Structure 1
Amino acid sequence: MTIHVENLKFKCIIGILDFERVTPQEVIINLNIDYEHIKHFIDYAKVVDFIKEIMIKNEFFLIEDALKEINLKLNKKFNGIKSINLKITKPSILPECMVSVSDFVIFES
């Protein structure tokens, strides 16, 4: 079974530039969680809240660090996760495009 979270939008502090450390900016999260559905139930509303909490609390400098932290914490908190495909987008950092970084992690059983 796969949970899909698409276009989750909220504001947080993320980035290395001076203005990014002061003013929250919008991020967009896209996420796929593949999990063992026979033995486990994962509440997608709790997943969404958990991701927002991690991002807002940690004020990451790099998207890469946010990806790593979210993947590890999701796997630890929710049982039965087989893989996570996570993408974080900063839609307003460059005027001519949206910039994203993604990561795909497979967890051993």
Structure 2
Amino acid sequence: MKIHIEDLKFQCIIGILEHERIQEQDVIINFECEYEFKNEYINYTQIVDLIKKKMIFSKFKLIEDAILSLKSEISKEFPLINSYTLKISKPSILADCTVSVSDTFSV
């Protein structure tokens, strides 16, 4: 089975520029995971809540640091997940594009 969480959008402090440390900005998260369904399911609402809380509370400087931190939390909290891809985008940091970082993890 696969779970897809697409275009999860909220605001948080993320970035190294001075204004990014003061003003919240939009982030968009895309998450896809694979797991073997055997009478146990993964509550996608809990995944969304974990991602939002971690991003808002931690005020990461780098998207890369956010991804690695979320990797640790997701792997710990959701042992049924076999592999997943996480993508964090900052749609408003540059006027003519969206900047993103992503990675895929096998658990």
> What TM-score, normalized by structure 2, do the two folds share?
0.96
Structure 2 spans left out of the alignment, 5+ residues: none
Whether 1:52 aligns to 2:55 is no
The corresponding residue for 1:31 is 31
1:36 Cα deviation after fit: 2.0
In structure 1, distance between residues paired with 2:39 and 2:104 = 23
- Further displaced range: 56-65 or 40-49: 40-49
Separation in 2, partners of 1:41, 1:63: 29
Deviations 1:20-57 (A, max 9, x none): 00000000000001112115311001110110000001
SS at match of 2:45: helix
1:64 aligned counterpart, secondary structure: helix
Unmatched 5+ stretches in structure 1: none
Aligned-residue identity in percent = 50
Structure 1 residues 58 and 75: CA distance shift in structure 2, 3 A: same
Amino acid at match of 2:7: N
| Residue of structure 2 equivalent to 1:15 | 15
| 1:54 alignment partner AA | K
Task: Give, in angstroms, the shift of residue 14 of structure 1.
Answer: 0.3
Hey, what's the Cα distance between the residues in 2 that align with 1:78 and 1:35?
Answer: 10
| Equivalent position of 2:71 in the other structure | 71
Query: Number of residue pairs matched?
Result: 107
